[in-house]
Amino acid sequence: MSVIGAVHGEEALAAVEREQPSLVLLDISPPEARRWLGQLRGLAHPPLIVAPAVDETRESILGWIEAGVSGYETTNSSSSELIQALHTAARGERSCSQRVMSMVIRRLSTLAASPRAVSAQRDKRRSMRRITRRVSRRNRMHRHALHKSAIQACAARKVVSHRGTCAMMVPDR
């Protein structure tokens, strides 16, 4: 891993667009940090983003994870832990403490059980049923059209038809 530069603010965004690094260490202490994170995530080739010095509160950790950071270290982390977080993110992996994993699971469970999520799932099921019904109706109409054209073809060729199936009468040789 090599460092290609250290810049701040708008200069950093321009440097990331120009250099296209695979990993960015984003200082989250400025008030504009969330906006910068959003702009980095919106790039054509967004880099992995590690956020150092995240407060050890549930809201802060989950907020930065939901905002799209690939890794983070809390304010009480050592420099070796930060370096480890950079290497972990560079490998495309995510790591967190057991406590944070519990917070993430609780958050996902809450989101999944929220009325909006339940409503969205119900709407999705209704839409799937409607689509299935439409497809079934189209298939029946298509089969009916094929059946009707087959009967007409059978009648034109003097073919014996029985319950929607046809068999052509072939003269013996």
The residue ranking higher by pLDDT, 5 or 173, is 5
- Determine the Cα–Cα distance for residues 94 and 91; give it in Å rounded to an integer: 9
Q: Per 3-state DSSP, what percentage of the chain is helix, strand, and coil (rounded to 5)?
A: 55, 10, 30
Check whether 170 has a pLDDT greater than 50: no
pLDDT (mean) for 25-40: 90
Please give the single-letter amino acid code of residue 92.
G
pLDDT tens for each residue of 2-16: 677 767 778 888 888
> Which residue, 35, 144, 18, is CA-closest to 26?
35
Contact 69, 49 (CB under 8 A): yes
Average pLDDT in the chain? 76
Question: What DSSP state is assigned to residue 100?
Answer: H
Q: Which residues contact 77 (CB under 8 A, 6 or more apart)?
A: 52, 85
Give the pairing of strands 48-54 and 160-162.
unpaired
Check whether 80 has a pLDDT greater than 80: yes
pLDDT (mean) for 80-103: 85
Provide the CA 77 distance to its chain's centre, in angstroms. Answer: 31
Residue 13 in tokens: 């965004």
Give the per-residue pLDDT at 12.
Answer: 83
Is the overall model pTM greater than 0.75, yes or no? no
Q: Tell me what percent of the residues of the chain surpass a pLDDT of 70.
A: 70
Q: Per-domain residue ranges for the chain?
A: 10-113, 115-155
60 in helix, strand or coil? helix
Stretch among 18-32, 56-70, 119-133, 156-170 having the lowest mean pLDDT: 156-170
Check whether 66 has a pLDDT greater than 70: yes
Question: What DSSP state is assigned to residue 47?
Answer: P
Please state which architecture CATH assigns to domain 10-113. Answer: 3-Layer(aba) Sandwich (3.40)
Give the per-residue pLDDT at 112.
Answer: 75
Give the per-residue pLDDT at 164.
Answer: 45
Contact 28, 53 (CB under 8 A): yes
